[in-house]
Structure 1
Amino acid sequence: MPNPQKRLLVLGASQDQAFMINTAKAMGINTLAVDMNPNAPAFAFADDFAVVSTRDTKALKAFLDDYTQEKPVHGVATMGSDIPHIVAEIAEHLGTWHISHETAKLATNKFAMKEAFKRGGVRIPDYRLVGSAREVHDAFDEYGKLVIKPLSEAGSRGVSLITDTKDIAELFDRAFAYAIDGKVLVESFLEGPQISTESLMVNGHIHTPGYADRNYDVLERFLPQIMENGGVQPSDHQDAFDDVEAMLLKAAKSIGLDHGVMKGDVVLTKDGPALIEVAARLSGGDFCESLVPLGTGVNYVRNVIRMALGEDVVLDELAPTMNRAVSNRYFFAEPGRFHSVEGLEEVTAKDWISKFEIWYKPGDLLPETRSHGQRFGVFVLTADDRETAIAREKWVYDTVKIRIDPV
C-alpha cells in the first residue's frame, strides 16, 4: 500500500486534474497542486496549492526549492495537460521518477513522433512538413484529402481537414499561427472508425485498459475543423484489439516509452489499424475519468500515480470488474449571446446521468466553435448496453434547449 506520508505534485488544477487529485487523496496520498489560475477549481480538493504556471519551469523550481525544505515531494504527474516534457523536467529537479526527456520530446512534436513511428514500423498516414500554402497544394496533389495541424498543440487547435484546394491558404494560416520553426504538418486522411486508447507500459510490457469508440457525428457541421463529439464504451471493435495493442506496443518502443502512460488515436483502416498519434500522458475530458471506470470498474489513474511515486504497479487493478455502456457527448452552441438553457432539471434528475456541465454563464458571448476548448458543455451517461446508451443520448439532446440571442 502507498505510504500515506507521500506527497504528489499535480501540475494543473483545472477540472481536468480534479480526478487525479481526488484519486490520490483516496489512496491516502497528500497532494500539492499548482496552476496559474488563482481560482482553479481543483485547488479545493488539494491538500496544498500554489498559484504558479505549470509551463514556467523556472518559477516552479524556485517554488519547490522553498516548499520542499519543510514538505518533501515524492512524485510529479498531470492529467489532460500535454506537458510530459515539463513533468519530466520538474521530476528530475526533485529527484523523482519520470520518463526520459527524449521520450517526452518525441511525444510532444508530431513530426518527430511520426519519424520515430516510421523507423519503428508503425502503420501511420503519409505525412510531410510544410512551410507554405504552395507546399500544402503539392501535398494535396499527391495524397488527396489532408489533415493539417500544428506540431505541438492539443485540443484540435489549428487542426483542419482539407478536402479541396479552395481554402488551402486560409487553413494553412490557421495552423501556421501555432507553428514551430516555421513549419506545420500535413498528413493523408485515413478512412475508417476511430478508437481512443489508453495504455500503461509496465517495464516493457503493454496493458491497455482504455478503449472507446470516437464519435464524429458533428464532423460535417464544423468542417473544415475536425470536431469530435465524445466517445462510447465498450467499443464495437473488440475483434481488432489484439492488432491494435500490438501496434501500440511498437509505437511505445519507437518513442522509448518503457514505463509510463500512453494515450493513442487509432484508425481502423481497411488494411488494419493505423496510428495517428500518441501522447505520453493521461487523457483529459472523460475518458479515464468516466468512460473506463464507469464501464469497466478500472481506475488506472491509481497506477499512473504509483508510477510517479516510484512504486510498483498493481496489475490486478487493470482487470475489468464489470461491463456497462458509458457515453460522453458534448453540447455545441451557435455564436451569439448565451441567454438560457431549458430542460436541465429534467435531465439531471435521471440516475443514469453521471455528469452534466455547462461551461458558459448567461450573458456570455459565445465564439464560433473552432476547437474542443470552445464546446458549450458535456454530459456523461450510463446504460446496460450500447443501444440503450444511444437512445438516452438522443433523449438528452432532444430535451436540452439552448437559447442564444444573436449579436
Structure 2
Amino acid sequence: MQKTLIVIGAGLESIPVLQRANEMGLHVVAVDANPQAPGFAHAHESVIGCVYTPEITVAALTEWSRQGGKPHGVICAAVDAPGTVAAVADHFRLTAVSAETARLATDKKAMKDRFSEMGIPIPWYQEIFSAGELSRILDECRETLVIKPVDSRGARGVLRLVYGSADMPDPAWAFECAKIESPTGRVMVEKHLDGPQISTEGFVVNGQTFCPGFSDRNYEFLDRFAPNIIENGGDLPSFLDQDTQQAVKDLSGKAAIALGIENSMFKGDMVVHNGKPYVIEMAARLSGGYFCSHEIPWNTGVDFTGTAIRLALGERPDPEAMTPSFQKGVAQRYLFPKPGKVVAIEGVETALVMYGICMVEIRTAVGETIAPATSHPARAGVVMAKAETREKAIKQVEAAVAAIKIITS
C-alpha cells in the first residue's frame, strides 16, 4: 500500500523534502497558503492552508480527507511550523511532536524557562516590556546583549547591542524593531556569548539521540550588517576538536529531550563560550537553508531528510542510518548585493562550472529591488561547494561567490 505524507510548506527550500518523499515512493500532499508555491509542482496533491495557522490547515486537510485522503505522516519543510504539524498529527492520529513541545520550540521565553528548569546551559535572558527597561539593563550590565522577538523566525528583529560601540542603536528603536516582528508583541534580551557558533541537527529515537548534522556558522559580516545579525552560510566538518564537538552534540540531544522531542528531529543553534557549550535556541523541525537536504548528506553520507520522513511515518530507523560514515568538506555562502534596483546579473554560468560547485541559486531578477539585508530572507542567493576537505570547499565556494555579480543602481 502506498503511504501518504503531508508536507507543511511548499516554498523554494521545501522542494528537496518533497522530492525525497517522491523518491521514497510516497503519495505527497503539500500545504501552503500561496497558490503559486513552487513546491506544489513536486506534490501529487496541493492543499491551500496557512502553515503558521494550525486551525486553518487542519480545516483544509479535513476537507481534503472527506474526498478520500488518508495520511500516514506529516512533516514541515523549511518552515518553523511544529505547531501546525502537531495539530495535524493530533487530528489524524499521526506521529509528531506534541502541541506542548511545539509551543516550547516556538516561544523563545518558554523555551529558555524550560532549559533553565532542566539545568541546560543557556545565556542569561529576560523578557522586557519597554525601551526604558532595555536602557536600564544595558546601563547595569554594560556588555553586549541580543534583543529579539519572543516568537519570530529568520533572524527578523534580532539585533546585537554592543554597549558603548558606534553601532549601538537607540534602545527605543531597537525595542520597537524587535516588537514589531513578534506576532504577540513580546520582546526578550539575552547575553551575547562570544565564541564559535554551531548549527546542529539530529534525531531523538526511543530516547536515544543522534546528531549527524554539525556545521560551523559563518558570521563574518556582523560589522557590515550591524546591528542586525545575518549569517553567511557555514562550513563542514567543524574546526573544533572532537571532544568539544561531542560535548556540543550531547548538549543538543539533552536540550531536545528537555523540550519533549521524541521520535522526531531537532535543530540546534549552539555556541562554545570559554570552552563550554551553551544552547542559544532549539527548533523541533527540519532546518532550512538546505542544511538537512544537502549539506548533511554531502558531509556525512546520512540521508537526513529520508530518515526524518521515516520517523514522521511512524518508523524507527536503524542507528546506522543516523550515523556519519565519512566527513567530507562542504561550504555554503550567500549573496549580498548592494541595495538598489537590479540592472544585471553576471557570472552565474561561470560559477556553475567551477570545480566543486554543486549549487548556485539566484533569488532575485533584473528589475527587482534589493532591500538592505536586515534578516535571512533578504539574502539574494546561495552558493554551495563540496570537496574532500573543508578548506578546499571554502576556497571553491568563495571563488564562485566572487565570480557572481548582481549589479544594482
TM-score scaled by length of structure 2: 0.95
Give the structure 2 partner of residue 379 of structure 1.
383
Pairs within 5 Å for 1:8-407:
8-69=5-66, 70-143=68-141, 144-164=143-163, 166-179=169-182, 181-237=184-240, 238-405=242-409
Query: Do the aligned partners of 1:328 and 1:378 also contact (CA within 8 Å) in 2?
Result: yes
Q: Aligned letter for 1:360?
A: T
CA distance in 2, matches of 1:103, 1:142: 34
CA distance in 2, matches of 1:179, 1:296: 36
CA distance in 2, matches of 1:63, 1:166: 44
The offset of 1:61, in angstroms, is: 2.6
Aligned to 2:349, what secondary structure does the other structure show? helix
> Structure 1: which 5+ residue stretches go unaligned?
none
The offset of 1:180, in angstroms, is: 5.5
- Farther-moved stretch of structure 1 (122-131 vs 140-149): 140-149
Query: Do the aligned partners of 2:212 and 2:323 also contact (CA within 8 Å) in 1?
Result: yes
The offset of 1:246, in angstroms, is: 2.4
Query: Do the aligned partners of 2:383 and 2:401 also contact (CA within 8 Å) in 1?
Result: no
Query: Do the aligned partners of 1:121 and 1:250 also contact (CA within 8 Å) in 2?
Result: no
Query: Do the aligned partners of 2:152 and 2:183 also contact (CA within 8 Å) in 1?
Result: no
Aligned to 2:223, what secondary structure does the other structure show? helix
CA distance in 2, matches of 1:190, 1:92: 38
CA distance in 2, matches of 1:182, 1:14: 26
| Change over 3 Å in CA distance of 1:398–1:58 after alignment to 2 | closer
- Farther-moved stretch of structure 1 (205-214 vs 344-353): 344-353
Aligned to 1:263, what secondary structure does the other structure show? strand
CA distance in 2, matches of 1:276, 1:61: 31
Aligned to 2:224, what secondary structure does the other structure show? helix
Aligned to 1:220, what secondary structure does the other structure show? coil
Q: Aligned letter for 2:222?
A: L
CA distance in 2, matches of 1:271, 1:293: 28
CA distance in 2, matches of 1:98, 1:87: 7
CA distance in 2, matches of 1:223, 1:234: 28
Aligned to 1:206, what secondary structure does the other structure show? strand
Q: What CA deviation, in whole Å up to 9, does each residue of 1:108-167 have, x standing for no partner?
A: 100010010011111111110101111112222344100000011111000000013652
Q: Aligned letter for 1:72?
A: K
Query: Do the aligned partners of 2:47 and 2:64 also contact (CA within 8 Å) in 1?
Result: no
| Change over 3 Å in CA distance of 1:222–1:24 after alignment to 2 | same
The offset of 1:181, in angstroms, is: 4.8
* Sequence identity percentage: 39
The offset of 1:264, in angstroms, is: 0.3
The offset of 1:97, in angstroms, is: 1.3
CA distance in 1, matches of 2:269, 2:96: 23
CA distance in 2, matches of 1:229, 1:219: 9
Aligned to 1:219, what secondary structure does the other structure show? coil
Q: Aligned letter for 1:163?
A: V
The offset of 1:336, in angstroms, is: 0.6
CA distance in 2, matches of 1:65, 1:390: 47
Q: What CA deviation, in whole Å up to 9, does each residue of 1:39-91 have, x standing for no partner?
A: 11111111111232223433323332232231211111012211111110011
Query: Do the aligned partners of 2:299 and 2:330 also contact (CA within 8 Å) in 1?
Result: yes
Report the count of equivalent residues: 402
The offset of 1:186, in angstroms, is: 0.1
Q: Aligned letter for 1:225?
A: N
Aligned to 1:232, what secondary structure does the other structure show? strand
Aligned to 2:292, what secondary structure does the other structure show? helix
Aligned to 2:294, what secondary structure does the other structure show? helix
Aligned to 1:266, what secondary structure does the other structure show? strand
CA distance in 1, matches of 2:186, 2:103: 17
Query: Do the aligned partners of 1:265 and 1:277 also contact (CA within 8 Å) in 2?
Result: yes
CA distance in 2, matches of 1:84, 1:313: 21
Query: Do the aligned partners of 2:158 and 2:229 also contact (CA within 8 Å) in 1?
Result: yes
The offset of 1:289, in angstroms, is: 1.5
CA distance in 2, matches of 1:18, 1:404: 29
| Change over 3 Å in CA distance of 1:316–1:403 after alignment to 2 | same
CA distance in 2, matches of 1:353, 1:36: 33
Aligned to 1:261, what secondary structure does the other structure show? strand
> Structure 2: which 5+ residue stretches go unaligned?
none
CA distance in 2, matches of 1:96, 1:398: 47
Q: Aligned letter for 1:20?
A: V
